[in-house]
A and B are shown apart, each in its own frame.
Chain A
């Protein structure tokens, strides 16, 4: 037995293992929780996330590999796993009252969410393409189910099915890419690939495999032109699911993308960098342009999430330049945090206004919100400003770091695209603000403690971190440095 698994293998992915066991136990425990007390399941799920987060933070600073180099524990994984677990907590907080209000309260919700988080965490820690593939499936399948959770609503079912079909389609490309890479290098581990590639076997096969991998990840992070599922799925899925999915899946996708490209494909820079740059530019332009004409807040935020995938992709463009790469990836990680914080807040506000049967989701439903519920409207304003990248918000700091890194990497034109599209984005984000402050209306807002807590806390973070970004950026930088 010990020649296959030894204790250090297990400690390398201990947070994920704990969470897996916890999720299984939760599934059983849920059977004994009476229907009218399903809130307990949420509390237990949150507890599991906290325990896992605790272990993650205790392990901070350590580095190890496990399972014959298939998974890695390092500063990078600590940083992103912590972010993912906090996202999971926000996901539970947003769901707690929402699922009851919408009549979706079922124990599986939280179990699925935990499994998905496990998948995301493994994706972050993977250092072998096979693990990437398994992790990707583990994170995706619960999300497909969650998206379709509101079975009585046809849109929700449609969202789940669409997400599933298109997800499978794009995963096909990913697997095919893995196969080609294996064919070219005879290995699926990052170290094996890079050894083979630098030994001179860098072939077209490898490049094409890498490009197909990019397609698979591009689908997960909703990059143009692999983004078309996003608005439909985000709109149809229960909002609490959307909130979690839009942050968590994106973080995991970018993490895997980064690790693969930085560790396995540094030799392919010349071929892949133009593609990355083009994807980033297309995504920024496409996401922001289409968002302009949206009238539904969920679709608006969906396109906004596409656009932000473009900004984060920018951080990866100079990945082959060893001088710029650490700073630019640190900027990318910082932006992931900025996006996650702001995004959860914005979705929290959406949840606070949503009514049964998909009502209360038009932007016109936000008219006059400021005069009805000032804290809520002010928080939403903060989130919109942060998404535009307007000071003093974390979004502005994030964009600043990003643009600087990209310019340092020599992609001035890309930074210009970023700035111009940010300018365009101000148009549709500010429309929400204008509605809240300057239009007449009678919006009705719910008041659920954990929802209020989420948007309140994220609004504060959005502003406070913008004044003291240095510790977070320093942490992100050190996380990147330990990657190598």
Chain B
């Protein structure tokens, strides 16, 4: 056991954030009354998350020192029913510790950033006490995510899976009583519900997969499932396909793939740190993790692998087209996230698990960077807007609705927010896949794999990559260059260090993250590291054609975006220059290809129709009006007329009814008489009991 070094610390992955949130729940109310309260709450939450990071690092070291040997740490029995025996076991291998490091590392940075962000956000929204709640939820999320990645069985994973879903719901609906612009409405609540329901559809798939697994493979525990699967695959191929495809439904829900991706754009209703942490860097990658973890299952069924890969690829392209037509800075990033998740899912679908994980890691860095920078921009505009509102004084108190996230209100921010600008540039270049930023290496590895094995997937992903560079370029030109299109943008102010410093760390990671797995001899570090868990994976040498082509396409796309958006900067009120040449297609992109409307038309409206039909027609008109009133009551009236007035003796029935009433009264009167407070009656009751019991024994 000595090789298992720090494995005993594993429970603290979960306990550390739980301790943090408990402190903030119990003492947070008191903290908030102190002048230093907000900082204390933020510091406690960030420390808790940081502690989880330290534990993750120690665990990763333990696995590393054990040469990738799988280690387990069992905390206790969980469910023992019949053949089902599940413990709460932490699984420590190179895959899970990698996920732990990403989750807690990025999570801690975002905690720190949120200290500054939420300080201002609660003031703009006029509800300072809610500050405390935010950090409680954030810590809860870290705990749930840790359960998800550290579980040793599908059921434990599912506990975390549901836990992060709950946190996502709570945090999307964090400003549940307003919309994204702070107006009183249920818009944010509805966004939260949408996310929850879409995920519920996915979870249904996951559960079916789990049930099938237990039914046919007899276990939920990873190793036992994987050990039993090949035998079953030989005799009953269909079941494995069903398991993997139902699991794909779960993946589609959590990782926002077609057809369940619709919740993720709406999820941007949550505060920006939430978008960065949960809806870009960590939670949404859980699906990718699930497929990677289930690699031994997917490898058995190439048909399912192909479906997974195509789902990812099509999602990647589809979401990228929508991103081109969005105006909200966070919506663009949201569709970009869906698209990048598509890349990852495609990768793991093709069996390129390392490439998928690699992209997952680098994406966590640069997408968190982009989201947080976007948050910095939004707050910068809020500050500018606030500044203006105060400058105008009381007389000119106009209630203009201002959307600080709309890129059409921005422009020229390069000058007012220089730090954020450079950070955003780094994130953009990483996402667009420009050498040598992190995104280039990871995306290239996916393309490389697709080029070798799945030509169709390769072409789809290449187009998506082109669009990625294009919409990111569009965003840069619209946000940072040209002239300010709104007074608020002209007066935007840079964010404080508590927000920008975590961004700088993420920026450094976004630049250097590619070093994890450079495609040169001797640098395949991640491949070898994950190989301990995933088995020996094919080592991909760099293919200069693929790499060159993707770089050339990315540069072309950026140039094209400059041609359209940078050369002649957008003026206030001017429509998007793409609108005219693309016509209807752009309207489609702008309106998300009307998918939401389609869902409303096909599912929600029909559901409401069915409910209406059941309520109005079946329940009320048929059941109440016709069956109860006509059939039952009518028949009864008819019978009673005959029975009471014509056939039966009215007095007889009456007498019986009266007798029932009298009997009840008598019974209650008698019991009341017994419970009269007199010891003699109580003793009588005991005595009667004895008599009855003895009577029974003697007479039976």
The residues of A with any CB-CB pair to B shorter than 8 Å are: 161-162, 165-166, 169-170, 173, 204, 207-208, 211-212, 214-215, 218-219, 225-226, 228-229, 231-232, 271, 274-275, 290, 468, 470-471
Contact = CB atoms under 8 A, between A and B. Distances in A.
A215 B691 CA distance: 11
Nearest to A275: B693
A219 B690 CA distance: 11
B23 interface: no
Given A275-B696, A470-B80, A162 B679 contact: yes
Given A231-B675, A232-B677, A207 B697 contact: yes
B409 to A, nearest CB: 43
Contact of B693 (A166, A214, A231): A214
29 contacts: A165-B683, A166-B679, A166-B682, A166-B683, A169-B683, A173-B686, A204-B697, A207-B697, A208-B694, A211-B693, A211-B694, A211-B697, A212-B690, A215-B689, A215-B690, A218-B689, A219-B686, A225-B686, A225-B688, A225-B689, A226-B685, A226-B686, A228-B674, A228-B686, A271-B697, A271-B700, A274-B696, A275-B693, A290-B671
A174 to B, nearest CB: 11
B235 interface: no
Contacts of B679: 161-162, 165-166
Interface in B642-685: 671, 674-675, 677, 679, 681-683, 685
B77 interface: yes
Nearest to A271: B697
Q: Kindly name the residue among B682, B683, B694 whose own CB sees the greatest number of chain A CB atoms within 10 A.
A: B682
Contacts of B671: 290
B664 to A, nearest CB: 12
Nearest to B690: A215
Nearest to B692: A225
Contact of B77 (A225, A232, A275, A470): A470
Secondary structure of the B side of the interface? helix
A226 B674 CA distance: 12
Nearest to B79: A470
Contacts of A290: 671, 675
A229 B700 CA distance: 30
Contacts of B694: 208, 211
Contact of A228 (B76, B675, B693, B696): B675
Contacts of B689: 215, 218, 225-226
Interface in B76-104: 76-77, 80
A170 B686 contact: yes
Interface residues of B, number: 22
A323 to B, nearest CB: 17
Interface in B240-287: none
A214 B675 CA distance: 22
A274 to B, nearest CB: 8
A290 B672 CA distance: 10
A275 to B, nearest CB: 6
B665 to A, nearest CB: 14
A464 to B, nearest CB: 13
Given A165-B679, A228-B674, A290-B671, A215 B693 contact: yes
B682 A229 contact: yes
* A214, A228, A275, A471: residue with the most chain B Cβ atoms closer than 10 Å: A228
CB-CB nearest 7 A-B residue pairs: A228-B682, A225-B689, A225-B685, A228-B685, A226-B686, A165-B679, A211-B693
Nearest to B678: A162
Interface in B279-314: none
Contacts of B677: 232
Interface centre among B80, B689, B696, B697 (most CB of A within 10 A): B689
A326 B614 CA distance: 50
A231 to B, nearest CB: 7
A208 B679 CA distance: 25
A226 B684 CA distance: 10
A68 B379 CA distance: 84
Contacts of A207: 697
Contacts of B683: 165-166, 169
Contact of B690 (A165, A166, A173, A228): A173
A88 B330 CA distance: 61
A162 B700 CA distance: 35
Nearest to B689: A225
Chain A CB within 10 A, most for which of B77, B675, B685, B690: B690
Contacts of B76: 468
Nearest to A272: B697
B221 to A, nearest CB: 18
B680 to A, nearest CB: 9
Interface in B568-587: none
A229 B674 CA distance: 11
A231 B671 CA distance: 14
Contacts of A274: 696
A169 B686 contact: yes
A150 B373 CA distance: 70
Contacts of A271: 697, 700
A226 B683 CA distance: 8
Contacts of B700: 271
A161 B696 CA distance: 32
Nearest to B76: A468
A375 to B, nearest CB: 11
A80 B183 CA distance: 60
Nearest to A223: B689
Contacts of A161: 679
Contacts of B685: 225-226, 228
A229 B76 CA distance: 46
B84 to A, nearest CB: 13
Nearest to A158: B677
Nearest to A173: B690
Contacts of B674: 228
Contacts of A170: 686
Contacts of B682: 162, 166, 228-229
Given A226-B689, A290-B671, 12 more contacts: A161-B679, A162-B682, A166-B682, A170-B686, A173-B686, A212-B690, A214-B693, A215-B690, A226-B685, A228-B675, A271-B700, A468-B76
A212 B694 CA distance: 8
Nearest to B684: A228
B189 to A, nearest CB: 22
A259 B131 CA distance: 58
A142 B80 CA distance: 44
A280 to B, nearest CB: 14
A256 B681 CA distance: 27
A231 B685 CA distance: 14
A208 B700 CA distance: 13
Contacts of A214: 693
Contacts of B690: 173, 212, 215
A67 to B, nearest CB: 31
Nearest to B668: A293
Nearest to B696: A275
A298 to B, nearest CB: 15
A112 B681 CA distance: 29
A274 B693 CA distance: 10
B636 to A, nearest CB: 28
Contacts of A212: 690
A215 B686 contact: yes
Nearest to B677: A232
A427 to B, nearest CB: 17
A106 B92 CA distance: 60
A215 B686 CA distance: 8
Nearest to B80: A470
Interface in B30-61: none
Nearest to B675: A228
A212 B675 CA distance: 23
Contacts of B675: 228, 231, 290
Contacts of B697: 204, 207-208, 211, 271, 275
Nearest to A229: B682
